[in-house]
Amino acid sequence: MPFCIHMARVFVYGTLKKGQPNYYRMFESANGKAEFLASACTVQKYPLVIATKYNIPFLLNLPDQGRRVRGEIYKVDDKMLKFLDDFEGVPTMYQRTLVKLEVQEWAGQTHGEQRPAAGSITEAFMYSTTSYQPDWPSLPCHESYDSNGDHGLQYVLREGRD
């Protein structure tokens, strides 16, 4: 296969989700390719908190604390994976790790294979962090991130930061 393009799966739970402030970055062709596969939630609980003066969502790598987190699985090419690693400040700000997910609704093409059923378990990369401040684990935990949620902590776009 001379033109085998490697694809990976990424679970996004924060500003990269549909309708959130960085979603468009996954669909800028200069960054690579992304395709929506499924809505899903983490099998384990994690604290998803909003922190720093820029109101950035962070999933803390503290399994069994917090709540099961809802998000979206995308299929991405190597170029997009590299873009996302760079954009998310891997490995200092976030680390990219594999996570177990429960499929809620599969929308992606299945290429002759069986469509994963709701409730089935799959795996994808996600951007979580072990580099958090001591008070972050006691911040309110979210189940489904929305920059405009009633927490009032709207995400500060990079262009607007000082």
Q: How far apart are CA 17 and CA 30, in angstroms?
A: 19
CB of 11 closer than 8 Å to CB of 73: yes
Binds ligand PCA by CB under 6 A, chosen from 47, 57, 66, 116? 57
**In angstroms, what is the minimal distance from the CB of 57 to ligand PCA?**
5
**In angstroms, what is the minimal distance from the CB of 13 to ligand PCA?**
5
Of the residues 88, 102, 123, 159, which is catalytic? 88
In this structure, the strands spanning 48-51 and 56-59 are antiparallel
> Is 88 one of the annotated active-site residues of the chain?
yes
Binds ligand PCA by CB under 6 A, chosen from 13, 46, 74, 106? 13
Q: Does 127 bind ligand PCA (CB under 6 A)?
A: yes
Looking at 26-101, list the stretches that DSSP marks H as alpha helix, in order from N- to C-terminal side: 78-87
Q: Does 15 bind ligand PCA (CB under 6 A)?
A: yes
Residue number, 63 or 115, with CB nearest to ligand PCA? 63
How far from chain centre, in Å, is Cα 106?
16
Q: Does 116 bind ligand PCA (CB under 6 A)?
A: no
Q: Does 46 bind ligand PCA (CB under 6 A)?
A: no
Q: How far apart are the first and last CA of the chain?
A: 48
Residue number, 57 or 116, with CB nearest to ligand PCA? 57
Q: Which residues contact 46 (CB under 8 A, 6 or more apart)?
A: 59, 60, 61, 62, 63, 65, 66, 67, 68, 69, 128
Catalytic residues: 88
Which residues are at the interface with ligand PCA (CB under 6 A)?
Answer: 12-17, 57, 88, 127
